[in-house]
Amino acid sequence: MKEGWKSLAEYINIALPKGRLGEKAYDIFESIGYGCPSIREQNRKLIFENEENGVRYFWVKPSDVAVYVERGAADVGIVGKDILLEQGSDVYELLDLGIGKCRMAVAGLKGTRVHSDHTLRVATKFPNIAREYFRGQSQEIEIIKLHGSIEIAPILNMSDVIVDIVETGTTLKENNMEPLEDIVQISARLIANKAGYKFKNRQIREMCEKIAALREGKE
């Protein structure tokens, strides 16, 4: 093996979320020396590796990142806190990366009252977060599970409110809705498989330290 090149067992396997977080997530790894130039090519490949840097990247759906990491198919991954809360993933949360910042909120058509004696119909992609929140408020709810375009539900009177991500508030505003109650602040996290963190402790800690230093340099 060439000097400095890694054996397969030493590879760090990284699950990256496709979509809005993906590029920013990869940029972080590239900035700290874990680049894999072929990943920038526009193609349909899902696995990229750089033998020299000892890294292998997988592009997966954002909501699947924690599954790959929990099962050890990936050693580390980048995932929104919303997904971790919703899935209750059994992984180590190593760093808040300060990207993908938004909040989880209850929202509805302007003037909607959240609390009443009636069962509140809640449309959401995040049933566990919604249930937990309204349990804490002693508000009876019925969950309507959707996978996107959640804001439509109250407009069509299919739900009374939604529980969804709000960033700029534009989607709510343009659909005549408003945030009613904030539930939790969200940002992207670096997570690690629990066993992998033990076996590849030196490499993963080194990676964390470099990311933390990068973040400090930017603040």
Ligand X SMILES: O=P(O)(O)OC[C@H]1O[C@H](OP(=O)(O)OP(=O)(O)O)[C@H](O)[C@@H]1O
Ligand Y SMILES: Nc1ncnc2c1ncn2[C@@H]1O[C@H](COP(=O)(O)OP(=O)(O)OP(=O)(O)O)[C@@H](O)[C@H]1O
Residue nearest to ligand Y (CB): 80
Least Å from the CB of residue 100 to ligand Y? 4
Over its C-alpha atoms, the chain yields an Rg (Å, rounded) of 20
Q: Segment 167-206, which members bind ligand X (CB under 6 A)? A: 167-171
Cα distances (Å, whole numbers) of residue 126 to 24, 36, 40, 70, 152: 24, 34, 32, 19, 16
Shortest approach of ligand Y to residue 198 CB, angstroms? 27
Size of the site for ligand X (CB under 6 A): 12
3-state per-residue secondary structure call for 186-202: ECEEEEECHHHHHHCHH
Q: Which stretch binds ligand Y (CB under 6 A): 8-16, 35-43, 57-65, 112-120?
A: 57-65
- The yes or no reply on residue 63 touching ligand Y (CB under 6 A) is yes
Task: Work out whether 175 is an interface residue with ligand Y (CB under 6 A).
Answer: no
C-alpha closest to that of 161 among 177, 175, 146: 177
Report, in Å, the least distance between residue 22 CB and ligand X.
Answer: 13
Quote the least distance from Cβ 91 to ligand Y, whole Å: 15
Interface with ligand Y in residues 76-95 (CB under 6 A): 80, 82-83
Cα torsion for 86, 92, 94, 95, to the nearest 10°? Answer: 0
Q: Of 91, 78, 67, which Cα lies nearest the Cα of 26?
A: 78
Contacts with ligand X by CB under 6 A lie at 148-151, 164-171
